[in-house]
Amino acid sequence: SLRGHKGWGQQWRHPEPKKEYDVIIVGAGGHGLGTAYYLAKEHGITNIAVLDKGWLGGGNTGRNTTIIRSNYLYDESAGLYNHSVKLWETLSQELNYNVMFSQRGVMMLAHSVHDVQSAQRHIHANRLNGVDNEWLTPQQAKEYCPPLDISKTARYPVMGAALQRRGGVARHDAVAWGFARKASDMGVDIIQNCEVTGINRAPSGEVTGLETTKGTIGAKKVGVVAAGHTSVLMEMAGVRMPLESYPLQALVSEPVKPVFPCVVMSNAVHAYISQSDKGELVIGAGTDSYLSYSQTGSMHILQHTLDAICELYPMFRRMRMLRTWGGIVDVTPDRSPILSKTPVKGLYVNCGWGTGGFKATPGSANVFAHTIAKDEPHKINAGFNLDRFRTGRLIDEAAAAAVAH
Ligand code: FAD
Ligand code: PYC
């Protein structure tokens, strides 16, 4: 019973929207709430609203498998994701909220000669960028993760693995709640159940505010941080985005005692797995093959993922699954995010995280706040501009995305 728990204060305020704000962030996921937090904390801008059509943290932030790592191939990505890992390391203290960041290591399996070569290329590139990553033999992989089947006759033989020891997991809800509480304390209005239905512009083109289900709200600057619905929102301002939205699914098992000590991903077989502090196995799949805005995905995708999990970890064959769910992920052609100014003055966009943006939450929020406050990118996100799809300066992270698209 929770009867003993009394006198809990509310974690954030529930204000009605003001007539106008200096900045409105659309989307109260981790990235949007974090952006508001860093705008207030690092740039002294506190006349901010964060709007969400649902409840805060109810989008991909609350639906993901929480894998955190920074083992991407290119220099730009190493800069961005490593900035984030460093912020994760002190985030609980910074927010005075336990985000349960656990650096238990992320191991990525290689099942073919191609996988081995690709993993080793990533390891070398990572180390040159100061990102920890090391090669493990199949025996070393098994020592790190005892449930793994490394027998030579396995359907998906393990030929080795890349291990990032500083990688791990965190508690997804706590990240949203921690940013929300601190931002609200600093004066940010978080307005839930408030869907944005239009983006208003002056005759000279710049943003003037938003149409919402709670009325018209004025804004000098607007940051769209809406994950799978970004193209829908940006179209309201006449900006066409290089994004496709797909369902991505995950599931959890019944809880069991601690048995799985790390995070393991296998892109080749479309499965990744860790164990939550409650004891559930947290398992994720590849994206559906079809574009969709439905937050449920296809059954055969889950079936395939569970087949792979049972092959890789035979001891889980008799486990029962408890829940499955889906989120809508916004995928760019080069599998890298967009953190950018837009052709519309006063309109900024943070999107394209696809299957892999949870790990970037604090880093992305931090540099996006800079971009909005200064009206120019931080040096860390300079390469992640919208223009790259016109200039061709792509950051192709399809392999490091590590989830089948
Ligand atoms: P969200 O949390 O989705 O927030 C966007 C918000 O915008 C939503 O709350 C939505 O309601 C709101 N919104 C949309 N339209 C409107 C509107 N018109 N008006 C107002 N509000 C609106 N990443 C990893 O790094 N590691 C993982 O292990 C991982 N696993 C994943 C597993 C699954 C099943 C899924 C779905 C995703 C996974 N991801 C992972 C990706 C990660 O979840 C996302 O990249 C990240 O959480 C995006 O955060 P966000 O704050 O940008 O978006
Ligand atoms: O980007 O690491 C990742 C990831 C894991 C599961 C889904 N995305």
* Ligand 2 atom with the shortest distance to the CA of 284: 6
> What letter represents residue 189's amino acid?
D
pLDDT in tens, 66-83: 999 999 999 999 999 999
CB of residue 79 inside a 6 A radius of ligand 2: no
Lowest mean pLDDT among 9-13, 186-190, 356-360: 9-13
Structural contact between residues 91 and 176, judged by C-beta atoms closer than 8 angstroms: no
Residues with Cβ within 6 A of ligand 1?
26-32, 51-54, 58-61, 63-67, 195-196, 225-227, 229, 233, 248-250, 284, 327, 329, 353, 355-359
Q: Closest Cα to residue 342, out of 173, 169, 223, 244?
A: 223
Name the closest-CA residue to atom 23, ligand 1: 356
Q: What is the distance between the alpha carbons of residues 191 and 213, in angstroms, rounded to a whole number?
A: 11
Q: For residue 177, how far is its CA from the centre of ligand 1 (angstroms)?
A: 14
Is residue 179 classed as helix, strand or coil in its secondary structure?
helix
Q: What is the residue whose two structure tokens read 């959890």?
A: 252
Atom of ligand 1 nearest to the CA of 358: 25
Please indicate whether residue 162, judged by its CB atom, sits closer than 6 Å to ligand 2.
no
Model's pTM, two decimal places? Answer: 0.98
Q: Considering every ligand atom, which ligand is closest to the CA of 250? A: 1
CA 202–ligand 1 middle distance (angstroms)? 30
> What confidence score (pLDDT) does residue 1 get?
61
Is this complex's ipTM strictly greater than 0.90?
yes
CA pair distance 397, 404, nearest whole angstrom: 12
Indicate whether residue 384 lines ligand 2 (CB < 6 A): no
Angle at alpha carbon of residue 381, lines to 102 and 330, rounded to 5°: 70
Could you tell me if the CB of 249 is within 6 A of ligand 2? no
Instruction: Provide mean pLDDT across the span 90-117.
Output: 98
| Residue 104: closest CA among 26, 163, 189 | 163
- How many angstroms is it from 115 CA to the middle of ligand 1? 28
pLDDT at 9 over 90: no
Expressed in angstroms and rounded, the spacing between residue 374 Cα and the centre of ligand 2 is 31
Q: Does the pLDDT of residue 351 top 70, yes or no?
A: yes
- Residue 351 Cα: closest atom of ligand 1: 52
Going by their DSSP bridges, the two strands 67-68 and 263-266 should be labelled as unpaired
Instruction: For ligand 2, pick from 64, 88, 252, 287 the residue to mutate: most ligand atoms within 8 Å of CB.
Output: 64
**Structure confidence at residue 8 as a pLDDT band (50, 70, 90):** confident
Residues 6+ positions from 301 with CB-CB distance below 8 Å: 249, 270, 285, 286, 287, 288
Give per-residue pLDDT as tens, 323-333: 999 999 999 99
Average pLDDT value over all residues in the chain: 97
